Structure 1
Amino acid sequence: MVNCTAWADAVPYSEVEAVLAEFNKGEIRTRAPFASRMRMLQGMIQAGKFCDLEAHGHVVDPMQALERAGPLPPILLYQSKGDEAIPWQHTDAWAAKLKRLQPEVPLFLTYLEGDHVFDKNDSMATPWMKEPLEFVRKYWPVESVDA
């Protein structure tokens, strides 16, 4: 099971059930208010109902999925070393495995300061975005990008 020690607060599964009760059968939601998805994810993981990693790990576990992945496009990864939900070492390990399995894939990896959602108020005009955007433009050239 996924380790949830990063989340100090327990989320009752009844909160997840209440959200799910609002869905129409077969409905797919692609948007949610900011941060509401994390609380629902937290409740599902804590209840052991997020997914069966043993049966579906090759699809949902990034480390296992990388072993079966076909050729990948250029990859941009950025994360905070202060991330309380996803340890930066996990990103580092994934990037190292990518370089071992597919060394030809261009990779831009950078670490910044802040918590899990440190970039929620940033835009493409934010100074730290300059280098990542140059990387993206190198592989996905566009006429102009609104800042």
Structure 2
Amino acid sequence: MEKISVKKGVVLQRKGDINSRVYFVESGLLRSYTIDEKGKEHIYMFGPEGWLVADSCEPNAPCQLFIDAIEDTTINVVSKEDLLKEGPDINALLRRIDTMQTRIIMLMSSNAKERYEHFIKTYPNIIQRVPLKMVASYLGITPEALSRVRHEISQKN
């Protein structure tokens, strides 16, 4: 594994890259996302401290996601080939799978308020670290809809 530090805004992977790396976040914050044909950004996941971020593409296959740093970040980088030889960090892998499975189910069956509340539980330490536009993208709603949800929640507290 190679430990590197990257500055906020550095793109580690672009859609279409032949990339077979896995990023273990030591400090800072990564995100993975895609951009559709209309130029709209869709955030797939955030990667705070202790998480791993990777595209699910096979080693040496074109990637589907962009991965970038949204804060100055220290990461441990390993190639997928080396990771498979050494064996994966099962806890990080299971946490990622569980988070993504829950998110997909929520996108299919939950309203915006429920998705936002789940986001707060899943990522309790990053709500103040990312722009609300990114949170809205992650939730699959507009920034205006997120504003309404946040206002509704604040009125109940």
TM-score computed with the length of structure 1 as normaliser: 0.29
| Structure number with larger C-alpha Rg | 1
Of structures 1 and 2, the one with the larger relative CO (CA 8 A, separation 6+) is 2
The structure with more strand, counted as a fraction of residues: 2
TM-score by length of 2: 0.27
